Amino acid sequence: MEDKHFQQLSKKLDTIIRLLIVQTFRGKKDKEAIEFLSLVGYQPKDIALLIGTTPNAVRIVLHRIKKGKAKK
């Protein structure tokens, strides 16, 4: 029974997180959302699910961000 309760709570928290991300990054570029989510510890596959893209697209954006910062 505790496992079922945990799963329900986990789904609710996931929904809250998704709503907060949508609200926070509404009108902003995906690059900003990807950079922020990466900085707070999300993996590319999780970021992709949250913003509606592919993990590979997220990795490409992260690579370009790192490459751009290395030049400075």
Angle formed at CA 43 by CA 17 and CA 4, multiple of 5 degrees: 50
> For the chain, how many structural domains are there in total?
1
Taking only Cα atoms into account, the Rg of the chain, rounded to an integer number of angstroms, comes to 15
Residue type, 1: M
Q: Where is pLDDT greater, at 72 or 61?
A: 61
> With the CA atoms of 63, 66, 69 and 70 taken in that order, what torsion angle do they form, in degrees rounded to the nearest 10?
-100
Report the pLDDT averaged over residues 19-27.
82
What is the pTM for the complete model shown? 0.70
Q: What is the pLDDT, as a whole number, of residue 45?
A: 96
The domain in which residue 49 lies consists of 2-71
- Is the pLDDT score of 49 beyond 80? yes
